[in-house]
């Protein structure tokens, strides 16, 4: 036979209504940022180089900034880093920034090496070459 324990405690199911507002806010913020990024990217793609280099660079920079804002928001909300104390956040952010800086520095240096490879990088004039006529071979019949 089963035994039943009676208790004066009344239990209720937890209410999740307070968290749904934050979820919807996160959904709309990330959706709007993504739509803006896609719109800017599609505009650049549709122009196929008809834009000035400065405008293209500024638009690509804006897309990068929006991407970083989305990444920050995702880490803040979904990884709950926004609720942590400042020292803990800095413990994670500072090494991450250094890692990103290393990647950028290595890519920059690699591109520089690729462009300067097999050249003297303008440090001296290229040697003058003269066209030399070959002498006829000895023993060849004419």
Tell me the torsion sign for CA atoms 123, 128, 134, 135: negative
- Residue-level pLDDT at 13: 62
- Residue-level pLDDT at 23: 87
Angle, nearest 10°, between helix axes 53-78 and 17-47? 160
Identify whether the C-beta of residue 34 lies closer than 8 Å to the C-beta of residue 70: yes
Identify whether the C-beta of residue 72 lies closer than 8 Å to the C-beta of residue 60: no
Place of tokens 């739509």: 35
- Residue-level pLDDT at 41: 94
- Residue-level pLDDT at 15: 61
pTM: 0.56
Q: Which regions in the chain score pLDDT beneath 50?
A: none
Residues whose CB is less than 8 angstroms from the CB of residue 120 and which lie 6 or more positions away in sequence, other chains included: 126
> Could you read off the pLDDT of 32-66 as tens digits, one per residue?
999 999 999 999 999 877 889 899 999 999 999 99
Strand residues in 1-142 grouped as ranges (E): none
């Amino acid at each position: 036979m089963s035994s039943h324990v009676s208790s004066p405690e009344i239990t209720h199911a937890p209410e999740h209504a307070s968290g749904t507002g934050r979820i919807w806010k996160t959904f709309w913020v990330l959706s709007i940022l993504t739509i803006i990024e896609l719109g800017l990217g599609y505009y650049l793609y549709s122009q196929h180089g008809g834009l000035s280099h400065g405008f293209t660079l500024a638009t690509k920079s804006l897309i990068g900034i929006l991407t970083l804002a989305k990444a920050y928001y995702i880490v803040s909300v979904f990884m709950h880093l926004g609720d942590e104390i400042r020292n803990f956040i800095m413990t994670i952010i500072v090494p991450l920034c250094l890692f990103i800086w290393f990647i950028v520095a290595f890519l920059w240096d690699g591109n520089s090496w690729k462009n300067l490879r097999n050249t003297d990088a303008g440090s001296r004039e290229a040697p003058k070459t003269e066209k030399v006529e070959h002498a006829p071979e000895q023993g060849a019949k004419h």
